[in-house]
Amino acid sequence: MPKLSSKALIIIAFFAIYVIWGSTYLLNKISVTELPPFFLAGIRFFCASILIFSIARVLKYSLKITKKQLLNSTFVGFLFLVYGNGVFVWALKYVDSGFGALLASTQPLFVLLLMRLIDNKKMKPKSLIGVGLGIVGMYLLVSQKEMVTNEDTLLGIFMIFTCVLGWSYGSVFVAKADVPKNYFVSTGYQMLIAGVILLATSLLFKEPWVSPVHWSSKVQLAMLALITVGSIGAFTAFNYLLKQVSTEKVATSAYINPIIAMLLGWYVLDETLSVQSIIAAAILLTGVYFITSRKKPHTLS
C-alpha cells in the first residue's frame, strides 16, 4: 500500500480539525447532559490514550520519552485538554454548543496577541482590522439577552474565553517545544496525562461516576465518537499540523468549526440560531480571515 504524500496528509489533517472537531461540540453537549464534565473528559482522554498506545505498539512506534519531553507534554496536555477541554465541557452545561463554538472561534485573535507579546511580532493593518472585527463580533454575540439568560450563562462565557486563552498559549508553546517526534505518540502522552488529571479532578469535586452500561444509547454513541475520531483522529491531526504548518494556519479551523457546530446544534438539539448570532458569526469569522490570511509563510498580515 503506497504511502500518502505529505501534502495529502496535511489535507486529511485539516479535514479532521475542520469537520470532525466541529462536530465534537455537539457530542460533548449530548454527553454532558447526563455525565459530570470532568468525569466525561477524563474517561474520554484516558480511554483514547490506551487505544493510541496499543496502536503504537502494534505499529512498533517507539514510546520512549525524555524527562523534558514528559514535562512539556504535561504542560501542553494541561493547557489543551485539562483546562482547554475539561473546563470547556463544564461550561457547555450553561451555554449552547453552537454558541460555545463561536466563542471558541476567537482563538486566532488570542494567538495573534500572544505572538505579539511573546515573539514581539508586529501587527500589520490587516491584523488590526481583524482584531477590530473580532471585538465587534464578540460584543454582538454575548450581548444577546435571549442567549445570556442568567449568571450561570455569563460564568460559562467567561470560562470559555479563559479556555480559549489557555489553548492559544498551548498552540504557540507546542510549535517550538521539545515533545516526542512521533505525533501519534505525542498525542498519546498528552491524553494519558490529561486523563489522569481530569479523573483526579473529578474525584476531588466528588462527581458521581456512572458505569457506561447505565449511559443512554445516544451518550454511548457520542462518547465512542469522542474517544475515537474526536480524540485520536482530530487531536493527532492537530499535533501533526502544528509541526508542519504555521500556528496561525492551524488556527483557521476557527472558520469552519463554529459553522458546523451551530448547524448541528440547531438541527439536532434545536438550539437557538438568532439573526444576531448569524450576523455576529459573519463579522467574527471575517475578522478571523483578516487575522490569518497572509502572503508570506512566516509573517503575520
Domain ranges of the chain: 22-292
Q: Is 6's pLDDT higher than 90?
A: no
> Which pTM value belongs to this model?
0.81
pLDDT tens digits, 146-160 = 666 677 888 999 999
Q: Is 252's pLDDT higher than 90?
A: no
Confidence of residue 39 (pLDDT cuts 50, 70, 90): very high
Q: What per-residue confidence (pLDDT) applies to 212? A: 95
Q: Which residue would you say has higher pLDDT here, 143 or 212? A: 212
**Chain centre to alpha carbon of residue 85:** 7
Q: Which three cell numbers stand for residue 205?
A: 469535586
Specify whether the backbone of 60 is left (phi greater than 0), alpha (psi in -120 to 50) or beta. left
In eight-state DSSP terms, residue 202 is H
| Measured distance CA(13)–CA(11) in Å, rounded | 5
Q: What per-residue confidence (pLDDT) applies to 41? A: 96
187 Cβ neighbours under 8 A, 6+ residues apart: 52, 232, 235, 236, 239
Q: What per-residue confidence (pLDDT) applies to 280? A: 85
| Measured distance CA(267)–CA(250) in Å, rounded | 27
- Residues 43-65, mean pLDDT to the nearest whole number: 94
For the chain, give the percent of residues with pLDDT over 70.
92
CB 27 within 8 A of CB 41: no
pLDDT tens digits, 187-241 = 899 999 999 999 999 999 999 999 999 999 999 999 999 999 988 888 888 878 8
Q: Is 89's pLDDT higher than 80?
A: yes
Confidence of residue 57 (pLDDT cuts 50, 70, 90): very high
CB 301 within 8 A of CB 295: yes
- Residues 2-27, mean pLDDT to the nearest whole number: 85
Q: Which residue would you say has higher pLDDT here, 135 or 69? A: 69
Q: Which of 104-113, 171-180, 198-207 has the largest mean confidence?
A: 198-207
| Measured distance CA(216)–CA(23) in Å, rounded | 19
Q: Is 297's pLDDT higher than 70?
A: no
Confidence of residue 287 (pLDDT cuts 50, 70, 90): confident
Maximum Cα–Cα distance across the chain: 56
Q: Please provide residue 5's backbone torsions phi and psi, each rounded to the nearest 5 degrees.
A: -70, 160
Q: Which three cell numbers stand for residue 283?
A: 463579522
Q: What per-residue confidence (pLDDT) applies to 72? A: 95
Q: What per-residue confidence (pLDDT) applies to 292? A: 65
CB 283 within 8 A of CB 135: no
CB 52 within 8 A of CB 191: yes
Q: Which of 35-44, 243-252, 255-264 bottoms out in mean pLDDT, i.e. has the lowest?
A: 243-252
Classify burial at 49, counting beta carbons within 10 Å of its beta carbon; exposed 0-12, middle 13-18, buried 19 or more.
buried
| Measured distance CA(95)–CA(76) in Å, rounded | 26
In eight-state DSSP terms, residue 106 is T
